[in-house]
Each structure stands twice: as structure tokens, then as C-alpha cells.
Amino acid sequence: MTPEQSGLTAVRINPTPGDNKWFSGQVTIHRSLDEIAPDHWNALVPGDSPILQHQFLTAFERTGCVIPDTGWEPHHLAIYHADHLLAAAPCYLKYHSYGEYIFDWDWAHAYQQAGLDYYPKILLAIPFTPITGKRLLIHPDADIQFAGAALSAAARELAEKTSASSIHSLFTTAEDNEALKAAGFVPRRSNQFHWHNQGYRNFREFLAALNSKRRKNILRERRGMNSEGMTFRWLSGRETTANDWSFFYSCYRTTIAEHGAIPYLNEAFFRLVGQTMPDGVRLLVASRQGRDIAAAFFLLGDRSLFGRYWGAIDRIPNLHFETCFYQPIEYCIRNRLQRFEAGAQGEHKLNRGLIPTPVLSMHWLSHPGFFDAVQRYTQSEWEHVEQYQTILHAHSPYRKEQ
């Protein structure tokens, strides 16, 4: 698709003196990620980022979860040279703020009160996925500074062409933040809880690092699983069957119903991801006396495990903690993974060994007055999040000498 076909005026990229890796080029827009060759896209993706894989992102589109009818209109940014993809960004035109995990509903309400349209807006992010990672994907042979500037400028121009109120890049890395800051974006800070492997040889060593109160609590909760006759099995995408995915999806829908949430994803999505990136998917199935009663879905990177969805068809005390925290932590220790991310929010995670971790996003608004207000708000919010994390760290579950 040419820039003219997409409605985006070409953004010129000029080489620096002595730089033979770059060229005069332009950013183009793809209305479907299937327009980009999987091997070209994946060549830009870091090894510990399964959510950025072409297979993961196209699964959203192919199964109808991320399409204009659901309020997600793909506008993926790409920079080519001689048919080679040098840089790209997952990009969507959004008509609501669902499925993002960085909340801007108050901003949208303020626009509405002022008689302005907040939607559409532009999102540089992974749908329904609160996991930090690159959003400006750049080939190792490309110039990072120029590619970051070109992608940022293209997002600004796309906002103008589509009359979008704003641009939001969610769960960003420090490297991406530098490029976006240079393009006029402001940072926003939030909190998650992550587990970090300190070289534990087994779960007992992890427990030994905790203070007595937290260690005893975890042991008590795990004993309850034994008394219930609970067993757990891990399945890779290669090992899963159609029945496994159907069972997991029934668990997922149960959780959605219990919380009155929106089922963003359909069963076809999970099946497709299991088929197309089988080594990057893990399904944990919990059984009680031989009968499957719960399941959780994880994504696996080179160094990290990412927890995403879970559900149970029977209520058993502490089953959630065992399935979503203790079993994954044991899995990380056994497979020498460096960290485990258990998803967004949840102070109860602190008592299970997951510690406060800052997560960042970057934002730009086209309206000068509202942008100024957002800048002041995010600065105040940043300070509040820092204070909150300080309080959380004071209640660390780990022994003081750790």
C-alpha cells in the first residue's frame, strides 16, 4: 500500500553524513498486518517479546477480535528499503478506550464536557495486553535515532490526517520513550507487580527468601491444594488439543462473567495462537482428583513468563493463587527464567512475592489547552505513584536482608 492509498503523506527520512545504512525513504501504512511478511516483521522483534510476534498480532485480526467493527482499525506503520523492512510499529485507530489497561476515560469525559471529540485516537500498543515491550520496532542494521523520529513523526501525521485527538503509546521501554519524548510526548507512570528470579534452585529457596509471615501463609495455602487432591499440568501449544482449548475458553468466560467484564477474545484466537506460535504459548490445567476444573493461559519469552488469563469452573479456596502465582513461579525456577509478570494491578500479589514495578506510557494530544492540562496531571500522578510504590516497598514480603 502506498502512502497515497493509505491517506498518509510520505514522511521523508534522510541519511546522516557517513551513514551508509540509511537512505531517503518514507513511512507507509498497512491496514492489516498480513500485508507485511512474517519473517520481515519478526526480524525486528526482541526475543523476549512473544506479544510482538507477527503470529500473535495477526491472530487478533484474523479471528475478528481487532477489526473496525470492534473499534480497532489497524494502521500499522512501516519503513522499507529495497523491499526490506527496517522499522515498524503496531498502530491502531481507536474509537473507544477498552482493552488498554492504561486508563484515559477521564480525559475522554473532559473532551465531551467541552464539546470536543476524543475519538478516534491513535494507539501504539498491543491489544488487550499490559506487558512492557518495544513499540517502535527497529532492525539492528537501521539507525535507531532516525527510525524512532520517522515513526513518531508518522504517528503525528496520521493523527492529523484522521482527525485523531491524541496518540498513546502504552507499556513502553525507556529507549522508545526517548524517541517519543523528542517528538513531544509526555510520560505517564503506573504500577504492576513482577516476580524476579534471584537464582533460586527450587521453590523452597524462594520461600526461604520471604519473611516468616508470608512464607507460612504460602505454605498454608499450598497445603490446602494438596488436601483437595489438586494436580497441575503444563502444556505447550504443540501439546494442546481442541478439547484443551475449549475447556480453557469455558474457564476464561467464567471469569469474564463473574467480573462483569467484556470478552474481548474468542476461542478461535486462542486456538490460532496455539497453532501459529506453539513454542511461545503455555497452558496450565488444574485437576481435582482427575477432573479438570481450572486453566490459565501464559506467553513464554526467552527469559520471561507472562500470565494473561485464567478461570475455574469450581470454587476452591486459594486455587487462584496456586494457578496464577505459585505454579508459574515454580515453572520459572525450574526453567531458569528471569522474571514472571502476572498481569495488571492486584496488591494481593505483593504477599505472594511479586514486587512493585513501574510501567510507563507516552501521550500526545493535539489540543494545546488539554495537552497542557494532561502534562500537569501526569506530573502529579507520577509523584503519587512514586509515593504509593514507596509504601508498597515498605511492606515487602522479603526478609530485610534480601
CATH number at residue 223: 3.40.630.30
pLDDT at 287 over 80: yes
Percent of all residues in the chain with a pLDDT value above 70, rounded to a whole number: 93
Provide the pLDDT confidence category of residue 20 given band limits of 50, 70 and 90. Answer: very low
* Helix 105-113 / helix 368-394 crossing angle, nearest 10 deg: 150
pLDDT for 401 = 61
Does residue 140 form part of some domain? Answer: yes
pLDDT at 84 over 90: no
Residues 170 and 282 in one domain: no
- Residue pair 295/285 in contact (Cβ under 8 Å)? The answer is yes
- Is the pTM here over 0.85, yes or no? yes
pLDDT for 22 = 45
Residues 367 and 330 in one domain: no
pLDDT for 12 = 47
User: Burial of 231 by CB count in 10 Å (0-12 exposed, 13-18 middle, 19+ buried)?
Assistant: middle
Residues 298 and 162 in one domain: no
pLDDT in tens, 100-139: 999 999 999 999 999 999 999 999 999 999 999 999 999 9
Q: Give how far the C-alpha of residue 95 lies from the chain's centroid of Cα atoms, to the nearest Å.
A: 20
User: CB within 8 A of 227, min separation 6: which ones?
Assistant: none
Name the average pLDDT for the chain: 92
pLDDT for 44 = 97
- Residue pair 298/281 in contact (Cβ under 8 Å)? The answer is yes
Residues 125 and 237 in one domain: no
β-bridge partners, 190: 359
Find the mean pLDDT for residues 366-372: 97
- Per the structure, the complete domain to which residue 255 belongs is given by 198-337
Find the mean pLDDT for residues 381-387: 95
Say how far apart CA 380 and CA 378 lie, in whole Å: 5
